[in-house]
Structure 1
Amino acid sequence: MSPNDATTLAPQHAGILPGKPQPFYLDNGQGEKSVVFDTLFTILLTGDETDDQYDVFSCEGNAGDIIPAHIHPFTHEIFFVMDGAVHLWMDDEKGFKDDHVLTSGGFGYVPKGTIHAFRMEATSKIMGVSSAGFARFFHAMGRPTDKPGIPSPEEFYIPPFEQMKAAGELYGTVFRPDYNFLED
């Protein structure tokens, strides 16, 4: 069973997306939603609907802490800032090492195998696109919710380390606690 398989979903997420390639619509605030730390991740499209080509998701939150450095050995990832400001750090360990604050309309591409991290510098909403099969990582890391919008402090969810580790193993995310972009 693929980690992208709709049959692995929490009951709250079952039936929101069609689970196969067919036309459909989602209104504002709809999609498969999970809270990870202080951020809402909403999955809009998965490999189930795209013949395993790509996933589409959004994340929205307030200014906060840096998401820890990590790498996806098999997943390409796109950041498109719909609103706000997002600081993106990248190091491909082949000569490209940089950081940039993306504002509304800004775009960043993180190829597979690139160490990266990000931090929302203001209340922000990001549209993400990734290789198929990755987006449900956010469900594995988070807590399902039906509520749209930025979570309030009582809704924050700090996953236990074992949950983070298991999600990373299942969805090809390697956390790099040894790597700190902020010390550069």
Structure 2
Amino acid sequence: MSEPISSGPSLTQALSLPPIIQSAESAPAYWFLDILWIVLVDGEQTDGRYSLMEQLMPEGVGPTPHVHPFNDEGFYVIDGAMEMRVGDQTVSAAKGTSVWIPRRTVHAFKVTSPTCRVLNSFAPAGMEQLIKSLARPADRRELPPKGLDTDPKKIAAFANNYWGMEIEFPVAQTTLSR
């Protein structure tokens, strides 16, 4: 008689990953694209399952319409406001607003208040690795100096990469599966 096939750990078994406890004051922080990025939960800590960053952004900052082919993205506005395009909807996301964006959904945003502080999550993780590789470590927990990022190759690497692509980028227009 053969052993039954296990469908994975039972609900009473502890996960093999340890809990992650991190403060914004001690977490690694980076400056890139006029944004302060604080990596609260890194994919290296979650076996690639999830990442969480806190972002401080100035007015007018925000990406053009883009998609994440393999990652769901979440936002929670801690302070400030931004206008968001999510699929066919345009929403004003103010303090206390939560927005979840399923993978392959076209989205964009622009900060509409003097500053905006958000929690930004990805499942699975990955975007934080791009930030860590392109950004410079932040000297302080504040907005970066203006004009810090001028290298067009770094900006192109950020805009059109595995984790997110401008919708005009040819790969973003193809049907991808994983």
Give the TM-score category using the shorter length.
0.7 to 0.9
Percentage identity across paired residues of the two chains: 22
Quick one: which amino acid aligns to residue 145 of structure 1? A
Match of 1:135 in 2: 128
- Distance (Å, rounded) in 2 between the aligned partners of 1:167 and 1:84: 24
- What secondary structure does 2:128 align onto? coil
Partner of residue 59 from structure 2, selected from 57, 63, 68: 63
Aligned to 1:126: 118
2:19 pairs with 1:27: no
Cα separation, partners in 2 of 1:170 and 1:89, compared to 1, 3 Å: closer
1:1-184 paired onto structure 2 within 5 Å: 21-91=17-87, 97-122=88-113, 123-131=115-123, 132-153=125-146, 156-168=147-159, 170-176=161-167
CA distance in structure 2 between the aligned counterparts of 1:142 and 1:159, rounded to whole angstroms? 12
Structure 2 unaligned blocks of 5 or more: 1-15, 170-178
Contact kept, 8 Å, 1:40 with 1:60, in 2: the verdict is yes
SS of residue matched to 1:109: strand
Alignment TM-score, normalising by the size of structure 1: 0.72
SS at match of 1:148: coil
TM-score by length of 2: 0.74
What amino acid sits opposite 2:163 in the alignment? G
Please give the alpha-carbon distance, in whole angstroms, between the structure 2 residues aligned to 1:62 and 1:165: 21
Q: Work out the CA distance in 1 between the residues paired with 2:118 and 2:93.
A: 10
User: What's the secondary structure of 2:154's corresponding residue?
Assistant: helix
Aligned partner letter, 2:70: F
- 1:10-49 per-residue CA deviation (whole Å, 9 max, x = no partner) reads xxxxxxxxxx943454334332222122111111112211
Is the 2:67–2:166 contact (alpha carbons within 8 Å) kept by the matching residues of 1?
yes
Corresponding residue SS for 1:35 = strand
Larger Rg: 2
Deviations 1:34-86 (A, max 9, x none): 21221111111122111221001011022124322211100110010011112
Shift of 1:110: 1.1
RMSD: 2.3
